[in-house]
Structure 1
């Protein structure tokens, strides 16, 4: 009887050993793989392209090994994914919330991955799409929408996004009359903001280098972010 093949013949990648001594409280610890922890991890968090090539090469080798190791489970994984997906309402939507002359809502389309934000005139009329997440995500390897909120005067739409996977969100403001984003661009935020009562600007939280909410700023529309008030 031919034994059943369980594991592929591909050899598992082995990380190079580069011993580093670390002495604390009189105890010395030797870590052969400390080099795999990037010293510039904070910078890598924002921009993955600056990762040490040696670390990247090893991680990519591990990914290749994982793909080979799990190759015979491809059909099962597809089956499980389809089963779980079948239990989800793909075109799910929120109940539109009434605010002034409009009712605002969010919905997903079948086969899509990102939310679509819209509003409907309360006195009747066609739905107006404020932001189409799937359209914004086109051509991007990663895309995630953070918070989103219309201004009190219903003229603008504040929204945040992360297109690197760093969880440092950039805020944009969309002019709803033209459908175009304004020049205001606020980086390194937690992903959302809160409009002030007169819709002349908004408050937002800025993250520090360690990805912690650290300070709350106020941005006035049409001004440079360097002049935002703490």
Structure 2
């Protein structure tokens, strides 16, 4: 079974990805600024001290034939773009191509000509995050990576129900997703590689 390189393992979604990956028997390697924030210890977990803002440190944590999952959050657009640039560059340098990234539903289509964030009712407070996700998508599209950009709506701190809808390119029908279900989808994508070079919405 391939090793997963996980960025953002101490965050809300990232910590759930870590738990579900370990539960499924994956070896997981993380790059974290503060290992004390990790919510678990396990023989299948390897932790490396470092920061994704450093290309050298990102490259150091990667391994041959590994799959990369990024659940990173960011405070600014520039920060988010730096993270994805470093991950893509480091993966290219290591000859890796499979990348799953957590984004946001605002970048998805609501029609053939309009994205969700362009609609008149889209919350203005979410705009800067959405612009960051658009930048990430642009970098993924030109990278040549076998990427999947997972674009959830509001994430609720609830366990998995295994009852959710998935749509390619278009915004979700529902406006919430349980964190457990979101991560279940991500882990299924780790296994099945169904949505390559695609942005995907998921909702309960």
User: Which of the five TM-score ranges fits, normalised by the shorter chain?
Assistant: under 0.3
Would you tell me which structure has more helix in proportion to its own residues? 2
Relative to the length of structure 2, the TM-score reads: 0.24
Ranked by relative contact order (alpha carbons within 8 Å, sequence separation 6 or more), the top structure is 2
Normalised to the residue count of structure 1, the TM-score between the two structures is 0.22
Pair member with larger Rg: 1
Which is richer in strand?
Answer: 1
